[in-house]
Amino acid sequence: MKFLDEAKVYIRSGDGGNGCVAFRREKFIEFGGPNGGNGGRGGDVIVEAADGLNTLIDYRYQQHFKAQKGGNGMGSDRHGAGGKDIVMKVPVGTQIFDEDKETLIHDFTTVGERFVLAKGGNGGFGNAHFKSSTNRAPRHANPGQVGEERWIWLRLKLIADAGLVGLPNAGKSTFLSAVSAARPKIADYPFTTLHPQLGVVNVDGREFVLADIPGLIEGAHEGAGLGDRFLGHIERCRVLLHLVDASCEHAGKAYKVVRGELEAYAETLADKVEIVALNKIDAVDPEHLKKQKDRLKRAAKKTPLLVSGVTGQGVTEALRALVEVIGEAPVSDKAKSAAEAKPWAPIG
Ligand SMILES: Nc1nc2c(ncn2[C@@H]2O[C@H](COP(=O)(O)OP(=O)(O)OP(=O)(O)O)[C@@H](O)[C@H]2O)c(=O)[nH]1
Ligand SMILES: [Mg+2]
């Protein structure tokens, strides 16, 4: 089961200001000519991924967001002022969907990311603009363009408490399906997982949310493979479970490639508590397993757990190690009050 926080919101960008029809009037100056100014541009509706937000709770209370209208043009060639933009702040991980709830408009993965959801209308031209050699006294001006209005859905995937990382094929999705009701696609080729998946894990009567993201390869921070933008979805996890495939060529090297990508992505991610586990231990003979374990231990500078998502060996120990870290961290007040205001809407 996936859990979401969501809100339906009405937005409207500002109308453009009207152009003005006016003529210069001064003593002793005949046929002063047109001097109506242009209307100002309407404000945009902008959505920004901000730091420190965990939920969409604010959007349950305020659902209408309108940007300011552009000022009208005035005589004496005075142009209308531009309307103020409106900026809606949302947590990282928020997605914007169209009113149909299916068409994805934007997916926010990094703090500070901005997206213009609706552009303000252009201001209309004043009559001064229409002056030409054949029409020296135009008596018309344009009205401002109207702003855009629409209903949209904001959706936030539940903040995962723990995130799975590893090379493609390390067995991340297999692990998630073994410990939760999530049913991600699993296959014997790299990049099976294309979108982050969440599962609710229950261990010793405690629940937490585990995220499975696409595999990382060397150079992901430069766009190799599926890139590293998915890391945004686990940026706020409390702990990472790093899975290394025991049947790969060199477990130490595999570990270091992924660490390199985490470090290249962000310090906040690289500094997170990491539980290291050698996975697929059922697939290798004991001698090779020992060799891989030693390599991984040297690279990670800690003794790895030994697990198999397929046979279930060592899985409970790994979950307990995660819970231990998650349990120490306090639940943020805001997230808590959101959960109390309304339960997360389950879907799928
Ligand atoms: N023998 C064995 N095979 C496993 C284990 N875990 C996963 N596999 C196999 O390894 C292959 C890859 O597994 P996935 O779970 O799709 O790997 P992933 O890390 O999610 O891969 P990407 O989504 O591509 O990053 C599949 O063929 C799995 O059946 C395990 O514990 N033991
Ligand atoms: Mg996968």
Question: Residue 91's pLDDT is what?
Answer: 85
CA distance 316 to 204: 9
Where in the chain is CATH 2.70.210.12?
1-156
Does the pLDDT at position 344 exceed 70? no
SS (H, E, C) 123-192: CCCCHHHHCCCCCCCCCCCCCCCCCCEEEEEEEEECCCCEEEECCCCCCHHHHHHHHECCCCCCCCCCCC
Q: What is the pLDDT of residue 2?
A: 40
pLDDT tens digits along 287-318: 999 999 999 999 999 999 999 999 999 999 99
Q: Are 320 and 204 in contact (CB under 8 A)?
A: yes
Section 324-341 average pLDDT = 57
| Partners of 3 in beta bridges | 346
| Span 134-162, average pLDDT | 89
Q: Which residues pair with 48 in a beta bridge?
A: 89, 114
Three-class DSSP labels, 4-35 = EEEEEEEEECCCCCCCCCCECCECCECCCCEC
pLDDT in tens, 237-266: 889 999 999 999 999 999 999 999 999 988
Name the residue at shortest CA distance from atom 6 of ligand 1.
171
Looking at per-residue confidence, does 10 or 213 come out higher? 10
Distance 188 CA to ligand 2 centre (A): 10
Pocket perturbation via mutation, ligand 1, pick of 164, 165, 167, 169 by most ligand atoms within 8 A of CB: 169
Query: Among 192, 278, 271, which residue's Cα sits nearest to residue 237?
Result: 271
CATH annotation of 1-156:
2.70.210.12
> Where residue 343 falls among pLDDT bands split at 50, 70, 90?
very low
The residues, any chain, with a CB within 8 Å of residue 119's CB and separated by 6 or more, are 13, 44, 148
Residue 206 to residue 208: CA distance in whole angstroms: 7
- Tokens representing 299 are 């690279």
Q: To the nearest whole number, what is the mean pLDDT of the chain? A: 87
Give yes or no for a contact between 325 and 294, defined as CB atoms under 8 angstroms apart. Answer: no
pLDDT level of residue 346 (50, 70, 90 thresholds): very low
| pLDDT value of residue 334 | 46
The fold adopted by the segment(s) 162-340 is Rossmann fold (3.40.50)
Q: What is the mean pLDDT of residues 275-293?
A: 96
Burial of residue 165 (number of CB atoms within 10 Å: 0-12, 13-18, 19+): buried
pLDDT grade, residue 202 (50/70/90)?
Answer: confident
pLDDT surpassing 60 at residue 174: yes
Give 20-73 pLDDT, tens digit per residue: 999 988 888 888 889 999 999 999 999 999 876 767 877 877 889 999 999 999
Does 165 score more than 80 pLDDT? Answer: yes
Whether residue 341 is predicted with pLDDT greater than 60 in this model: the reply is: no
Full-model pTM:
0.60
Number of other residues whose CB lies within 10 A of the CB of residue 346: 10
Ligand 1 environment, Cβ below 6 A: 166, 168-174, 186-188, 190-193, 214-215, 279-280, 282-283, 308-310
pLDDT at 326: 87
Q: Please name the residue whose Cα sits nearest to atom 13 of ligand 1.
A: 171
Give the helix/strand (H/E) hosting 340: helix 333-341
**Domain(s) of CATH 3.40.50.300: residues in the chain:** 162-340
